[in-house]
Structure 1
Amino acid sequence: MTEPAAEAPAKARRGRPPSTSLNQALILDTALAIVEEHGPDALTLRRLGTELGANHTAVLRHFSSKDEILLGLAERLIERAMDGFVPDAHWRPTLEALARRIRSVCLAHPALAALTATRVSRRAAAFQGADTVIRALRVAGFDDRDAARYYRALVDAALAVSSYEAATAALENTSREGDRLAWGREYLAASPTRYPDLAAVAPYLAQADDDDQFETILGLILDAVEARAKA
Structure 2
Amino acid sequence: MATTRAAAGRVRRRPTRSGVVLDPDMIINAALHLIEAPGGNALTVRRLGVELGADPSAIYRYFRNLDALLIAITDRLLAETLDGFTPAAYWADSLRLLAEGIYRSTLRHPRLALLRAVRFTAGPYELRAADIGVGLLMEAGFGGPDAVRHYRDLIEAAWALAAIDASEMTPEQERDEERALARAYATLPADDYPHLAAVRAELPAMSEPAFPGVLAKLIDALERLLPPYSPPS
TM-score (normalizing by structure 1):
0.83
The aligned residue for residue 176 of structure 2 is 178
> 1:35 maps to which residue?
35
For CA contacts below 8 A with separation 6 or more, give which structure has more relative contact order: 2
Name the SS for the 2:186 alignment partner: coil
8 Å contact kept, 2:96–2:215: yes
Q: Secondary structure at the match of 1:191?
A: coil
List, as ranges, runs of 4+ consecutive aligned residues in structure 1 with deviation greater than 4 Å: none
Q: In the alignment, residue 205 of structure 2 is paired with which amino acid?
A: Q
Letter in 1 for 2:187: A
For residues 109 and 161 of structure 1, the distance between their equivalents in structure 2, rounded to whole angstroms, comes to: 14
- Is 1:128 matched up with 2:125? no
Is 1:45–1:56's contact at 8 Å kept on the other side of the alignment? yes
Equivalent residue for 1:214, pick from 200, 211, 216? 211
Structure 2 residue aligned with 1:224, among 209, 221, 225? 221
8 Å CA contact 1:192, 1:199 repeated in 2: yes
Residue of structure 1 equivalent to 2:90: 90
The amino acid of 2:172's aligned partner reads: T
- Structure 2: gaps spanning 5 or more residues: 1-15, 229-233
Correspondences of 1:38-49 after superposition (within 5 Å): 38-40=39-41, 42-49=42-49
Partner of 1:163: 163
1:146 is matched with 146
Q: Which amino acid aligns with 1:22?
A: L
How many residue pairs were aligned? 212
In the TM superposition, residue 208 of structure 1 has moved relative to its aligned partner by 5.1
Q: 1:183 to 1:82 in 2, by over 3 A?
A: farther
**CA offsets 1:142-164 (integer angstroms, 9 cap, x no match):** 10011111111111111000111
Contact 1:77-1:113 within 8 A present in 2 as well: no
Per-residue CA deviation, residues 3-33 of structure 1 (Å, 9 max, x unaligned), is xxxxxxxx99xxxxx4632221111111111
Between Structure 1 and Structure 2, whose CA radius of gyration is higher? 1
Question: For 1:125 and 1:195, how far apart are their aligned partners in 2?
Answer: 48
TM-aligned CA deviation for residue 91 of structure 1: 1.2
**Residue 204 of structure 1 aligns with which residue?**
202
**Do 1:74 and 1:116's aligned partners in 2 also have CA atoms closer than 8 Å?**
yes
Local SS of the residue matching 2:166 = helix
In the TM superposition, what whole-angstrom CA distance separates every residue of 1:98-125 from its partner, at most 9, and x where no partner exists?
1111111111111122333322121221
Structure 2 distance, partners of 1:183, 1:87, is 40
Aligned CA distance change for structure 1 residues 158 and 134 (closer, same or farther; 3 Å): same
143-152 or 31-40, which deviates more: 31-40
Two-structure CA RMSD over aligned residues (Å):
2.1
| Whole-angstrom CA distance in 1 between matches of 2:134 and 2:175 | 39
Q: Helix, strand or coil: the match of 1:54?
A: coil
CA distance in structure 2 between the aligned counterparts of 1:142 and 1:75, rounded to whole angstroms: 27
Report how far residue 218 of structure 1 moved: 0.6
TM-superposed CA distance for 1:192, in Å, is 1.4
Residues 1:181 and 1:89: Cα distance change in structure 2 (over 3 Å): farther
Contact 2:116/2:159 (<8 A) preserved:
no
Cα shift readout 1:175-204 (whole Å, capped 9, x = no counterpart) = 133334444332232211211111222311
TM-score, normalising length: structure 2: 0.82
8 Å CA contact 2:142, 2:227 repeated in 1: no
Partner Cα distance (1:110, 1:178) in 2: 21
% identical aligned pairs:
34
